[in-house]
Each structure stands twice: as C-alpha cells, then as structure tokens.
C-alpha cells in the first residue's frame, strides 16, 4: 500500500509540474471543444483528477463487494459451526476401526 501511495504522490506531482510547465511555456495551447477552446494546462490535471475519481469509485465498489463476500463467508462458517454443534449434541460417533482387520476384505 505504501508503494501505491508513493506512486500516486509522484504521478500527481508530475502532472502538476507538467501543467505548470505548460502554463508557463505554452499558455496559448488549447484544445477545441463544443464549449470553446480549453487550455491544455487545465485539461491535463483535470483529466488526471477525473481518472482519480473514477478509480476511487471503482475501489469503493470493490471494497463493498469484498465486504459482502466476507460477510457471506462468515455466515457459511457460522452455519457449519451450528451444524457441527448439533451433530455433537446427537452424539454421532464414527465406527471404530479394528486394527487387526483389513477393510478390503
């Protein structure tokens, strides 16, 4: 997780640095859109933030699905524990194996 945090920090700093570089060096660069020309030094960090938002929503969805799966697994474990407890109450025991007799015959 520390590696992911460092990669996020470094990539964020690189995007911010690139945006500042574009603003200082080429402020006239713009991409045409239906709403007029948008400067590239704003679109680059905006696209990065949009990607972070979508990735964050995806991570939240995965975490939510993981919690549901974990809860279902714990429900199955508790059901099996109840079943084992009921079997212990019924005193079901295995048939003892007599060591001097073969089971193949």
- H/E stretch holding 69 reads helix 40-90
The pLDDT, as a whole number, for residue 92 is 62
Q: What are phi and psi of 35, to 5 degrees?
A: -100, 15
The pLDDT, as a whole number, for residue 86 is 87
The pLDDT, as a whole number, for residue 70 is 97
In this prediction the pTM is 0.62
| Size (the chain), residues | 105
Per-residue pLDDT of the chain (105 residues; tens, 9 = 90+): 899 889 999 999 999 999 999 999 998 989 998 999 999 999 899 999 999 999 999 999 999 999 999 999 999 999 999 998 888 887 766 666 777 766 655
Whether the Cβ atoms of residue 58 and residue 72 lie closer than 8 Å to each other: no
For residue 30, what are the contacts with CB-CB under 8 A and spacing of at least 6? 37, 38, 39, 40
Whether the Cβ atoms of residue 37 and residue 27 lie closer than 8 Å to each other: no
């Amino acid at each position: 997780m520390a590696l992911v945090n460092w990669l996020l920090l470094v990539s964020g700093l690189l995007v911010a640095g690139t945006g500042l570089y574009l603003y200082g060096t080429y402020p006239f660069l713009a991409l045409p859109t239906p709403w007029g020309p948008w400067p590239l030094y704003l679109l680059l960090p905006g696209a990065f933030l949009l990607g972070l938002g979508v990735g964050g929503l995806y991570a939240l969805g995965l975490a939510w699905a993981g919690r549901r799966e974990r809860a279902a697994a714990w429900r199955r474990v508790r059901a099996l524990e109840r079943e084992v407890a009921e079997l212990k109450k019924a005193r079901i025991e295995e048939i003892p194996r007599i060591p001097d007799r073969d089971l193949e015959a």
